[in-house]
Amino acid sequence: MTPDSPRFRLGLVGVVVLSLFAALFARLWFLQVMASPEYKLAAERNQVRLVRDPAPRGRILDRHGRVLVENRMSAVVTVNRNRVPADQRASVLRRLAAALGTSVPALEERLADKRLNPFTPVPVGQDVPEEVVVYIRENQDRFPGVEAQFVAVRHYPHGALGAHLLGYVGEINDVELKARTSEGYRLGDRIGKSGVEQTYEGDLRGVPGIEKLEVDVSGRVLRVLSRRAAVPGNEVRLSADLDIQFLAEESLRQGLESARTRKFRDDETFFQAPAGSVVVLDVKEGSVVAMASSPTYEPAAFVNGFTSAEYAALTDPANHAPLTNRAIQGEYAPGSTFKLATAVAALRSGVISPGTTIQDNGVFRVSDCRGAKCSFRNAGSIRYGRVDVARALTVSSDVFFYTLGERFWERRGDLGHEMQETAEELGMGIQTGIPLAGERSGVLGTPDLVRQLHEENPVAFPFGDWFTGHNVNLAIGQGVLAITPIQLATAYATLATGGVRYAWNVAADVRTPEGRVVRALEPRVADQVDLPPAVRDPIVRGLMGATTAERGTAVWAFRDFPHDRYPVAGKTGTAQVTARQDTALFAAFAPTDDPRYVVAVVMEQAGFGSSAAAPVARRILGALSGLEEPTPVEVVPGGSG
């Protein structure tokens, strides 16, 4: 056989044929044996379409079972962008625009939404009339990629009431989805984003129903393979009281509005009073009765989703970030409300006894110090004369507490940072443990912390040293010091309970839609603080004096209050903030003989605690006492912090 003979060349052809067949066999082996499991899955996915029927989300009720959040049905039209055939896109959008009563450019704008995953159906019409849904469904072949359906959405019968506490629900984002895929969440699901909706997501959500359908290549449903009905979510009954929540929000709003009618120190500019917060706690149950934060927002706005610009407006500091829940996220210098911690620290450590008096001549000079910076004055340089700790709290004598601040500094060798540590024991500068996401911890300044802050950021904190003056300032609640409104309330609640510091609950129980209690939430104690009567009594006496005694800082706000039947212990605070108008604060508990409620009020750039914040608390406490009909809050002429 020569290389040129046909037989030899046929042999070559045979080799080629053999190798081609070998290639086919090898490929077949790969596809059908090695890679088969993946293809089996793909075929399964092809054929089976899972249709999810979201479970009705559980309602949220107030402590008396009144509905705060429920569901309503809404007709929604969505467009699945990658299911609209490119050659039909223009005609589909034209028809859709006509059906929805909008324009093609408007639809295009919505479809261009970059925030949405390209595979996520884009909602182009919400709350559309039922006949539009029927029309689209009946002409589905002319609307490829368009879906019209009824979905349950959140409904808020009381509008913005309790918005920050309740939170809102929105479409699950990529981060949440990644973390929760194993829990059965899928793209497009709705999930609690903040507040109670977020905390009790697992209870409220329920279990989505799933229909397994067999479909052919054109999506035609051939038969139902299996069906699992949705299990509705459970209801969450809050500790909050609808009426008190309303009262708190209304009082705060009136207080802020009223504050804006008054002028700042220089009597030229009005107070801006743009924002504030009120917290009402139940110290018997360890729970939140009301929680207000202003400015607020409409949680219903989240139902239909909104544009990037609308969302930006809700978080913009220039608008005072309405989404921020100031009750747990706002950090404020406590001002004179901090004197509670100073007093407790001084009495417990023996720096003073209840009977110790200090001469208040309106000015305090730091020992061994020369110059103007060594003088600290009472607000308005008022002289209160010889005062003990109770009287000092009643009139809010700065000189008394300046003196304590200096004494703590002198005795730092054996007492350490007694004021700061006591404040933290009472619940300031530390998270309370309230089950709401985003709670801030605040700041309690110590020499170490100040040095650390300075080293980390020398621009924002130009000085890293701590002198006597720092301690003196800290004693009256100024300096490197910030607490949240709920911390303020917690500190006074710990005093009210005689030492029980709660981790506040927001819910009372979780129940099935039929009302059977699944889980009751018991009070949670975060810490037991040592507050013997020798410490507590003089302080409570002083705080009661603030609302009743002559020159008490809150006397004006609590004039004509039924003190004999509903005694209130409270403390005003006026915190100076660099480049801002003063923060007005007030914290109180009542009734003092058997404390039930704590009310804390914080109002940004609103002036004196006594004139702006105390009247808000008074209106709330008056109503809580059951003895007063609420009257409009009116800012009263104020004295010192």
Which residues here bind other proteins, judged by CB under 8 A? 4, 6-7, 9-10, 12-14, 16-17, 20-21, 23-25, 27-29, 31-33, 35-36, 38-40, 42-44, 46-47, 214-218, 222
Please say which residue, 24 or 179, places its beta carbon nearer to other proteins. Answer: 24
CB of 1 to other proteins, least distance (A): 11
DSSP assignment of 279-325 equals EEEETTTTEEEEEEEES---GGGGTT---HHHHHHHH-GGGT-TTS-
Give yes or no for a contact between 506 and 196, defined as CB atoms under 8 angstroms apart. Answer: yes
Q: How far apart are CA 520 and CA 234, in angstroms?
A: 13
Give yes or no for a contact between 255 and 616, defined as CB atoms under 8 angstroms apart. Answer: yes
Please say which residue, 86 or 460, places its beta carbon nearer to other proteins. Answer: 86
Please say which residue, 33 or 309, places its beta carbon nearer to other proteins. Answer: 33
Please say which residue, 35 or 106, places its beta carbon nearer to other proteins. Answer: 35
27, 35, 161, 307 from 38: Cα distances, Å: 15, 6, 52, 40
Please say which residue, 47 or 356, places its beta carbon nearer to other proteins. Answer: 47
Structure tokens, 610: 């006594």
CB of 274 to other proteins, least distance (A): 54
DSSP assignment of 95-120 equals HHHHHHT--HHHHHHHHT-TTS-TTS
Please say which residue, 3 or 462, places its beta carbon nearer to other proteins. Answer: 3
Please say which residue, 40 or 227, places its beta carbon nearer to other proteins. Answer: 40
Please say which residue, 34 or 318, places its beta carbon nearer to other proteins. Answer: 34
CB of 107 to other proteins, least distance (A): 23
Give yes or no for a contact between 599 and 587, defined as CB atoms under 8 angstroms apart. Answer: yes
Please say which residue, 7 or 370, places its beta carbon nearer to other proteins. Answer: 7
Angle between helices 614-624 and 242-259 (to 10 degrees): 150
Give yes or no for a contact between 328 and 633, defined as CB atoms under 8 angstroms apart. Answer: no
Structure tokens, 135: 């029309």
Give yes or no for a contact between 284 and 234, defined as CB atoms under 8 angstroms apart. Answer: no
Tell me which residue has tokens 């605040």: 442
Bridge-based pairing state of the strands 235-238 and 60-61: parallel
Please say which residue, 25 or 463, places its beta carbon nearer to other proteins. Answer: 25
CB of 4 to other proteins, least distance (A): 6
Q: How far apart are CA 470 and CA 467, in angstroms?
A: 5
Q: How far apart are CA 640 and CA 638, in angstroms?
A: 7
Please say which residue, 31 or 90, places its beta carbon nearer to other proteins. Answer: 31
16, 60, 284, 526, 638 from 522: Cα distances, Å: 81, 18, 11, 13, 41
CB of 227 to other proteins, least distance (A): 20
CB of 226 to other proteins, least distance (A): 16
Tell me which residue has tokens 């393979």: 225
Q: Is the dihedral of CA 498, 536, 331, 606 positive or negative?
A: positive
Q: Is 177 exposed, middle or buried (0-12, 13-18, 19+ CB in 10 A)?
A: middle
CB of 29 to other proteins, least distance (A): 7
Element (H, E) at 152: strand 146-155
Please say which residue, 38 or 257, places its beta carbon nearer to other proteins. Answer: 38
- Sequence-distant (≥ 6) Cβ neighbours of residue 568 within 8 angstroms: 544, 547, 558, 561, 588, 589, 590, 591, 592, 621
CB of 83 to other proteins, least distance (A): 12
CB of 188 to other proteins, least distance (A): 23
Give yes or no for a contact between 176 and 145, defined as CB atoms under 8 angstroms apart. Answer: no
Residue 4 half-sphere exposure, CB side, CA atoms within 13 Å?
0
CB of 51 to other proteins, least distance (A): 17
Structure tokens, 453: 């802050």
Q: In the beta sheet, which residues pair with residue 231? A: 207
Q: How far apart are CA 29 and CA 77, in angstroms?
A: 46
573 closest CA partner among 548, 602, 547, 599? 602
Q: H/E/C letters for each residue in 18-85? A: HHHHHHHHHHHHHHHHHCHHHHHHHHHHHHEEEEEECCCCCCEECCCCCEEEEEEEEEEEEECHHHCC
Give yes or no for a contact between 51 and 213, defined as CB atoms under 8 angstroms apart. Answer: yes
Please say which residue, 34 or 460, places its beta carbon nearer to other proteins. Answer: 34
Please say which residue, 14 or 105, places its beta carbon nearer to other proteins. Answer: 14
CB of 48 to other proteins, least distance (A): 9
Please say which residue, 86 or 372, places its beta carbon nearer to other proteins. Answer: 86
159 closest CA partner among 303, 259, 287, 346? 303
CB of 460 to other proteins, least distance (A): 54
Please say which residue, 82 or 528, places its beta carbon nearer to other proteins. Answer: 82
CB of 176 to other proteins, least distance (A): 31
CB of 213 to other proteins, least distance (A): 12
CB of 104 to other proteins, least distance (A): 24
CB of 506 to other proteins, least distance (A): 50
